[in-house]
Chains A and B, each alone.
Chain A
């Protein structure tokens, strides 16, 4: 029983870092849903592509560049953001924009096709097997607790939390202060009205996809560094869980996505620790179903009004 508190602390820390990643990806889902009203099924794949791009940048820099660690990290994140942003933009233009306004299920089916395509696209280019990611940030902070139990906060996971918090602050300021942020809020309220008022809605939609993709890519690079391996199929389950987080928080609400991500990360980690590790995915999906059943508008979302 003496181990209980430090063990719980360890799990909370792990859950928090996992939840931070879910939050980063969930924002992409929630922003897109808020404006276009579709589930961007390929969002998880953008996250995976971001991770690969960051790794390509790392490998391009080579093992002995002499650059400080911070610069290497920044270059990785920048490369991942640029590539993922390009993918986010292109996917929207190619697969989603043309089918908008057509058949009700068309965007979702197109997105599922895109998701399968991108997985195999990367598998074809980079190989389908697990790739070992070099440990850029080995070690971590250790806190010795009573009873000999050590709580370890690895640097890679601390970085996840730090970067996520920073990005959340930037995003919140951007949405509330900037011109395009204001335009995107207008679009999420009423796309048609916004376009009547002279807002270039297709531009706002593109921005939304790019911002979502960049956040997901950053998450991808950070996770790859923390976990140490990567394959082209990691995006699917993570994407699904991030979507769960977005729904949990209330889809369309950015603070909701942040909250939902953290809650889901904590729930999953605690379930893995105290129930059984095999059941952590089941817990995540059960949370999704339970939320949709009992509070379909999520924790912070507004109830959807049925329009006739």
Chain B
């Protein structure tokens, strides 16, 4: 195993070169200059680890290959079992707000918002195969639509919600037009550019959007016209007076959660039905082969535009809900990292698989909250997971199942 050792040694040197300027030699500002604080432990440790790993790689590979073969094939539960599990989950989702504490309900609401976003992006990326890196732009438009309507027009959440969705959908439609001719990577970059432009515009149009500070004090949703506040504005009755309950700040949290749940369920139902409609089939055809799709007489323009528009619609709904939950919107909430997070939800769950998207959205919002001690490492792990998923399981946690029929041999 002579070449193995040489190879491992070279890799270790490479690792040393890579580790040294980042972890071994820390730059510390001192006065006008900078000085170094050297710490060789991480470098040597890292090099040793890489060296050993390279030496053992073949052996490890064989061990894991054997291990994978031993794993039983994934069980394919029957329809009844799946339906039962789905119902149980749904029931659990309805009971949760009445059993959980404030923090839990809040995180669950956030997870539901991300589920809505993930399902929306799943239309564009999963079904139609168009990589959209600027999805957060539509989310921002939804959030700002409600915020601005509230601030300038005094609109309530329920009046603004459809407008927010429509606004985002309109932008999705408008932005869809120019990118129609682009494919693959180019499309990804242009959508990324759009997302950034929207954020920059929101930051710089200070007269309208109050610039980087954003808009604060956005009202929470009302229940049938009854605000869930301690005191009602003139001419209306508060929710707790209306029902004769005592005022409890928990009410509004539960209410927000239920709205988010309703929205997520609506998105789930809607996207699942869409997938089975002719338009959904057309999206999948486009994803698999654009040229073949065109040859069969399908119009790619309409297919792509509908995917962009409908995807953006859900982002708009989620955005309005986000604005209501936070009570505050500013451009900081809509950076590229947010787009990457939603994309990671879709990719991690399995492109085109609604169940996978839901699982990934819950994982990616709840896990960071559980591992608060690892907060520093959150984004690091997040990036790593994206890479590793592509290496080991590009089809996602719960791969989309396509209806297929195998001929008996």
Name A residues whose Cβ lies closer than 8 Å to a Cβ of B. 38-39, 49, 52-53, 55-56, 58-60, 62-63, 79, 82-83, 86-87, 89-90, 94-95, 98-99, 102-110, 112-122, 124-127, 131-134, 236, 240, 243-244, 247, 276, 278-279, 281-282, 285-286, 288-289, 292-293, 296, 306, 308
Contact A103 B394 (CB under 8 A): yes
B92 at the interface (CB under 8 A from A): no
Contact B340 A112 (CB under 8 A): yes
Q: Which residues of B contact A58 (CB under 8 A)?
A: 34
Contact B14 A122 (CB under 8 A): no
Q: What is the bound-complex CA distance between A210 and B377, given in angstroms?
A: 28
The answer, among B23, B179, B185, B201, for a CB contact under 8 Å with A108, is B185
Contact B188 A39 (CB under 8 A): yes
Q: A83-B21, A279-B204 are in contact. Are A285 and B391 (CB under 8 A)?
A: no
Q: What is the bound-complex CA distance between A133 and B34, given in angstroms?
A: 7
B356 nearest CB across to chain A (Å):
15
Q: What is the bound-complex CA distance between A266 and B375, given in angstroms?
A: 41
Q: A86-B14, A126-B22 are in contact. Are A281 and B196 (CB under 8 A)?
A: yes
The answer, among A86, A113, A131, for a CB contact under 8 Å with B17, is A86
Q: Which 5 A-B pairs have the closest CB atoms?
A: A113-B386, A117-B383, A116-B383, A125-B22, A285-B193
Contact B196 A115 (CB under 8 A): no
The answer, among A38, A90, A132, A306, for a CB contact under 8 Å with B185, is A38
Q: What is the bound-complex CA distance between A288 and B23, given in angstroms?
A: 36
Contact A126 B394 (CB under 8 A): no
Pull 8 A–B residue pairs with CB atoms less than 8 Å apart, ordered by A.
Answer: A39-B185, A59-B27, A59-B36, A98-B391, A113-B387, A125-B23, A132-B34, A308-B291
Q: What is the bound-complex CA distance between A104 and B351, given in angstroms?
A: 12
Contact B189 A124 (CB under 8 A): no
Q: A105-B131, A285-B196, A288-B190 are in contact. Are A56 and B201 (CB under 8 A)?
A: no
The answer, among B29, B376, B390, for a CB contact under 8 Å with A131, is B29
The CB with the most chain B CB atoms within 10 A, among A49, A108, A116, A236, is that of: A116
Interface residue SS majority, chain B: helix
Q: What is the bound-complex CA distance between A112 and B347, given in angstroms?
A: 12
B380 at the interface (CB under 8 A from A): yes
Q: Which residue of chain B has its CB nearest to the CB of A38?
A: B185
Count chain B residues whose beta carbon lies closer than 8 angstroms to a beta carbon of A.
62
Q: Which residues of B contact A38 (CB under 8 A)?
A: 185
Q: Which residues of A contact B383 (CB under 8 A)?
A: 113-120
Contact A134 B34 (CB under 8 A): yes
Q: What is the bound-complex CA distance between A278 and B186, given in angstroms?
A: 26
Q: Which residue of chain A has its CB nearest to the CB of B382?
A: A116
The answer, among A106, A126, A282, A306, for a CB contact under 8 Å with B26, is A126
B7 nearest CB across to chain A (Å):
12
A276 nearest CB across to chain B (Å):
8
B368 nearest CB across to chain A (Å):
13
The answer, among A114, A117, A288, for a CB contact under 8 Å with B193, is A288
Q: What is the bound-complex CA distance between A244 and B376, given in angstroms?
A: 32
Contact A52 B21 (CB under 8 A): yes
Query: Which chain B residues in 12-40 approach chain A with CB under 8 Å?
Result: 14, 17-18, 20-23, 25-27, 29, 32-36
Q: Which residues of B contact A110 (CB under 8 A)?
A: 386-387, 390-391
Contact A240 B192 (CB under 8 A): yes
Q: Which residue of chain A has its CB nearest to the CB of B351?
A: A105
Contact A56 B21 (CB under 8 A): yes
Q: Which residues of A contact B347 (CB under 8 A)?
A: 105, 109
B384 nearest CB across to chain A (Å):
5
Contact A122 B204 (CB under 8 A): no
Contact A109 B386 (CB under 8 A): yes
A214 nearest CB across to chain B (Å):
13
Q: Which residues of A contact B384 (CB under 8 A)?
A: 113, 117
Q: What is the bound-complex CA distance between A105 and B121, given in angstroms?
A: 15
Q: A112-B343, A112-B386, A240-B196 are in contact. Are A124 and B377 (CB under 8 A)?
A: yes
B385 at the interface (CB under 8 A from A): yes
Q: Which residue of chain A has its CB nearest to the CB of B18?
A: A86
Q: Which residues of B contact A293 (CB under 8 A)?
A: 178, 181
B190 nearest CB across to chain A (Å):
6
B336 at the interface (CB under 8 A from A): yes
Contact B131 A53 (CB under 8 A): no
B132 nearest CB across to chain A (Å):
11
Q: Which residues of A contact B196 (CB under 8 A)?
A: 240, 281, 285
The answer, among A79, A104, A132, for a CB contact under 8 Å with B29, is A132
B337 at the interface (CB under 8 A from A): yes
Q: Which residues of B contact A133 (CB under 8 A)?
A: 34
The answer, among A89, A105, A117, A240, for a CB contact under 8 Å with B387, is A117
B182 at the interface (CB under 8 A from A): yes
Contact A52 B27 (CB under 8 A): yes
Contact A131 B391 (CB under 8 A): no
Q: A98-B391, A126-B27 are in contact. Are A113 and B385 (CB under 8 A)?
A: yes
